[in-house]
Structure 1
Amino acid sequence: MTVLTLGEALGVLHTGEPIAHASHLRIGTGGSEANVAIGLARLGARVAWLGRVGDDGLGRRIVRELRAEGVDVHAVLDPAAPTGLLLKETDPAGRTEVVYHRRGSAGSRLVPDDLDLVDAAAVTHLHVTGITPALSPDAAATVGAAVERWSPVGVSYDVNHRSRLWDAEVAATVHRTIAERVDVVFAGLDEALLLVPDADGPEDAARRIAALGPREVVVKLGEQGALALVDGVVSTVEAVPVRVVDTVGAGDAFVAGYLAERVRGLPVAARLRTAARAGALACTHPGDWEGLPFRRDLDRPIDGEPVAR
């Protein structure tokens, strides 16, 4: 069974101090759909990623790192646009600030014809996010075409709202339209309330989103864990306490954990347990995806002796 993720991958420049005073930057890669693909691969799923990157060093790095992590890559190396860039810096209070440089990026030039790079019959589940439709009209059309093409086999959608990319009112309409057409919706509570603003709490929000069409709604609640509504039945999981280094990528790890167990046919409680643990482990590492767990990591103590001998 092959899960296909579709969207923009980015170069990442990261420093543990304010960029205004930093002398060194660490180079990495990121992007929600690419992170989820790596998370799925590390948990044993067959997974492919489709997207556009620039025909530049960052683009080639993204392709290489995804392939090295066991992801089947279907990438267009676009010579007419650069790979998007994400800057991460830490302020004096220890907070991480993220700034994007992605206007006109190769990832924003995704078009529906790019879907033909993938053998449609090989895909057994599609995962997309609300980031891609915000990048450009063509990217939005590509997500819509992908949802239509693979809706017979199953589609999941992580709202993943980015307020810096588009107006909330416009975004809410797009999020609801996609939610009506998919099987699984993932959302933080604030994102869920963007879709159903009159909801009273996580469970009510999940039920109202489910009324739009999806069979499964998963609300990510951070330190309060998560709630899943599947076929009308509510399940919950507590968060796994960890020493947080960086929360960037934790939501993608959670989604990867849930989907990895879902494609294995495991029950909802098992999906949520793996999702919560994967999300927690991702918080213990400063990289966007480097801290995502392998399956062997799921049962290991997260806190404790830092050296294994």
Structure 2
Amino acid sequence: MTATTAEHAGVPEVLCVGEAMVAFAPVVGSLRTSDETRMFVAGAESNVAGALAHLGRRVEWFGRVGDDPFGARVLDSLRARGVDTARVVIDETRPTGIYFKDRMGAASTMYYYRAGSAASGMEPSDASLLALGERRLIHLTGITPALSPGCDALVERILAQSGDAHVSFDVNFRAKLWPADVAGPRIRDLARLANIVITGRDEAHTLWGTETPQDVRELFPDVATIVVKDSDIGATEFRGGREVFVPALHAEVVEPIGAGDAFAAGYLAGRLEGRDAEFSLRLGHVLAAHALSDISDSPALPSVAALHELAGRSDEAWCRSGASLTDNAYAATSSESGRR
């Protein structure tokens, strides 16, 4: 990605567009039995925005929120993380979306209350607010087009009007929003217009019947960069005729939701810094491992120096015994950075 005026003017270099919600999860036990819940802001695109801001990028999130305490919570949370929200539309007639996370052992069930939300009222004319041509990177996901016809049209217009900006598109298939036989063709059509497509091997199989990362590459021959995540095995980047695989970190899984967004943020940050595929994929894995270890979708992160220390290790050090967040050297670096 080459620099544009976004780096030299008031417009943040990265724009993330989508729905942010307020989530609730029981502190102990299940929703049925717990008397105490934890509240936090969640949403694929806002998760990516927050993590990119932590990694030192100038980031803006755009969406619509309701004129209610939940909408205010979304904006307060993102601003506190260093994300620009100047163009967010506050809808006086529609509510901010919310969802509840019910924890049952190692698995969670999500209960969404987002039908008719403020975000579902986004429309293609919103693209005119976003200074698309002044960005280095625009991040979209396959969640937004599922929210409403207007949201679908907005994503298509952003892709058509992105100009010199690179567009990353994270597939993020959500079966509760639309069935695979509808989502598959539509997401494929939209993703083909992006510069970077990120997907999980499992969701690609569900949507398009692919079996391997190489099958996904063949499905999008004209997209410059394809990244295929394979759960706790690793991730593969296809770019410029080169295929690079990096194994994942070992992580104690508390909650898998949000790990994909964290991976996307780490990977994209690496590419924005001009790093190679290996470092960028590793940085994605490092952030994903942190997300897996926390109930919220966007956990607190160590310093950039600590994150880079682990991502920048030699191949041998990374792979030895399955490098992990409990590694003594990394843990010490993280602890020291947290005290500064």
Q: Aligned letter for 2:126? A: D
Shift of 1:154: 1.2
- Indicate yes or no: 2:255 matched with 1:232: no
Shift of 1:174: 0.9
Check whether the contact 1:278–1:293 (CA below 8 A) recurs between aligned residues.
no
Cross-structure match for 1:272: 281
Check whether the contact 1:283–1:291 (CA below 8 A) recurs between aligned residues.
no
Q: How does 1:154-173 map to 2 (within 5 A)?
A: 154-173=166-185
How far apart, in 2, do the equivalents of 1:29 and 1:241 lie? 26
Q: How does 1:53-132 map to 2 (within 5 A)?
A: 53-73=65-85, 74-91=87-104, 93-132=105-144
Could you list the structure 1 runs, at least 4 aligned residues long, displaced by more than 6 angstroms after superposition: none
Q: Which runs of 5+ in 1 are unaligned?
A: none
Check whether the contact 2:23–2:99 (CA below 8 A) recurs between aligned residues.
yes
Return the structure number with greater relative CO, CA threshold 8 A, min gap 6: 1
Q: How does 1:6-17 map to 2 (within 5 A)?
A: 6-15=17-26, 16-17=28-29
Check whether the contact 2:136–2:164 (CA below 8 A) recurs between aligned residues.
no
Q: Aligned letter for 2:23? A: V
TM score, norm. by length of structure 2: 0.85
Q: Aligned letter for 1:90? A: R
Check whether the contact 2:133–2:165 (CA below 8 A) recurs between aligned residues.
no
Cross-structure match for 2:325: 302
> Aligned match of 1:215 in 224, 230, 236?
224
How far apart, in 2, do the equivalents of 1:119 and 1:110 lie? 16
Cross-structure match for 1:201: 212
- Indicate yes or no: 2:271 matched with 1:262: yes
Q: How does 1:20-31 map to 2 (within 5 A)?
A: 20-31=32-43
Cross-structure match for 2:292: 283
**Structure 1 SS opposite 2:32:** helix
**Structure 2 SS opposite 1:219:** strand
**Structure 1 SS opposite 2:232:** helix
How far apart, in 2, do the equivalents of 1:94 and 1:241 lie? 16
Cross-structure match for 2:196: 184
Shift of 1:95: 1.7
Shift of 1:293: 4.8
How far apart, in 2, do the equivalents of 1:297 and 1:174 lie? 39
Q: Aligned letter for 2:271? A: R
> Aligned match of 1:51 in 57, 63, 70?
63
Check whether the contact 1:127–1:155 (CA below 8 A) recurs between aligned residues.
yes
Q: How many residues align?
A: 305
Shift of 1:27: 1.1
How far apart, in 2, do the equivalents of 1:5 and 1:98 lie? 23
Shift of 1:117: 2.6
The superposition leaves residues 170-205 of structure 1 with CA deviations (integer Å, 9 ceiling, x where unpaired) of 1001111012111110101122224532x3422222
The superposition leaves residues 33-59 of structure 1 with CA deviations (integer Å, 9 ceiling, x where unpaired) of 000000111111111110000110010
The superposition leaves residues 205-228 of structure 1 with CA deviations (integer Å, 9 ceiling, x where unpaired) of 2x22332x2111101111101111
Check whether the contact 1:135–1:165 (CA below 8 A) recurs between aligned residues.
yes
Check whether the contact 1:195–1:209 (CA below 8 A) recurs between aligned residues.
no
Shift of 1:169: 0.8
The superposition leaves residues 47-86 of structure 1 with CA deviations (integer Å, 9 ceiling, x where unpaired) of 1110000110010110111111111112111011110011
- C-alpha distance 287-297 of structure 1, shift in aligned 2 (>3 A): farther
TM score, norm. by length of structure 1: 0.93
Cross-structure match for 1:136: 148
Shift of 1:292: 4.4
How far apart, in 2, do the equivalents of 1:293 and 1:103 lie? 36
Instruction: Please identify, of 15-24 and 165-174, the stretch whose mean Cα deviation from structure 2 is larger.
Output: 15-24
How far apart, in 2, do the equivalents of 1:258 and 1:248 lie? 17
Shift of 1:304: 5.8
Shift of 1:297: 3.1
How far apart, in 1, do the equivalents of 2:183 and 2:163 lie? 21
Shift of 1:270: 1.3
